[in-house]
Amino acid sequence: MNEKIIIGRGTKYPLNGILSLPDHCTSMVPAVVLVHGSGPADMDESIGANKPFRDIAEALSAKGIAVLRYDKRTKIYGKQMLKESPGDVTVESETIEDAILAAKLLKNDGRIDSDKVYILGHSLGGMLAPRIDAEGGDFAGIIICAGSPRMLSDILMSQNDDVLSQLPKFLQKIANRQIVGLKAKFDAISGMNEEKAKQTKIFGKTYAWYFKEMAEHPVAHYLSRTEKPLLILQGDKDFQVSTEKDFALYQQICIGKPNVRFKLYPGLNHLFMKSVYDRVKDFKKEYKIPQKVSTEVLEDIAEWILA
């Protein structure tokens, strides 16, 4: 059963969303807020021919768990935000504020068990999930899907290096110059004050302050402090984050913490779907192939929440 809802009703940036409820929802049920990866995204987190958030909502609601998904603020108001104050955009205004509003909306719904509201963050949303919890989401538990505890600039540089290694030799020299230039821009960010960072473009319409503000809230800080249940999932064919640099680093940060459970899925990509090309340079082709989120992943998430 799907209900249309509004996140942030009465605020400057109201967002359309869908609350997927178990059929014949008569008692208080657990619930989960879905938080998108990077870039503008709709409520289904549509990527190419795939809709991972819709898959998750349908599967979990069929197992007795309510799921709240909504359009990302930059999808609906991105142009407006850039026009008003382009250098001020951060993950706080882009993602965190709306995720906290979504959590509050669920906790105030009489059909939802307010003590069993969880967050599931995918990619950038997974990186931010522990911070969202600490800054006011106050969830019962945190699910990190294909996230990373590294700085966003480090991840982007790793992706660029991977693309470079997969290019023909004659293109590598040109691409390498661009990558060296980007690295120099990232290296300069730490020495900037807030005002300078808000005035300095890194690429496209993204300013240095976006990266600097995020770096001032390191993922490891929140992971090491939380005692809440944590479920950290990744596909071993994910070419946007890696098992060696990201999944292993989560394990290192959380070593000895009894509240954390890890699972790595053979053959799955960044969307927790079957990997086809296994190369970052082919990501557009990979995501044009219509697939569904792995049943095993969906069952593991449902079992963990219900436990």
Residue 177 token pair: 């110059």
* Among the listed residues 110, 151, 107, the one whose alpha carbon sits nearest the alpha carbon of residue 128: 151
Q: Between β-strands 29-35 and 201-203, what pairing exists: parallel, antiparallel or unpaired?
A: unpaired
- Which one of 44, 71, 270, 294 is the catalytic residue? 270
171 CB neighbour count, 10 Å cutoff: 12
- Which one of 98, 133, 238, 246 is the catalytic residue? 238
Residue 161 is among the residues annotated as catalytic for this protein: no
* Among the listed residues 59, 67, 62, the one whose alpha carbon sits nearest the alpha carbon of residue 117: 67
CA distance 81 to 76: 10
CA distance 88 to 195: 10
Inter-residue contact 34 to 53 (CB < 8 Å): yes
CA distance 240 to 27: 40
- Which one of 61, 93, 123, 158 is the catalytic residue? 123
Long-range interactions of 290-298: CB distance < 8 A, separation 24+: 290/49, 290/50, 291/49, 291/50, 292/50, 292/55, 293/52, 293/55, 293/56, 293/59, 294/265, 294/268, 295/59, 296/265, 297/233, 297/265, 297/268, 297/272, 298/55, 298/56, 298/59, 298/60
Inter-residue contact 199 to 111 (CB < 8 Å): no
Residue 238 is among the residues annotated as catalytic for this protein: yes
Give me the sheet containing 66-70, strands edge to edge. Answer: 2-7, 15-20, 66-70, 29-35, 112-122, 142-145, 230-235, 260-265
Residue 115 is among the residues annotated as catalytic for this protein: no
14 CB neighbour count, 10 Å cutoff: 18
Q: Which residues are catalytic?
A: 123, 238, 270
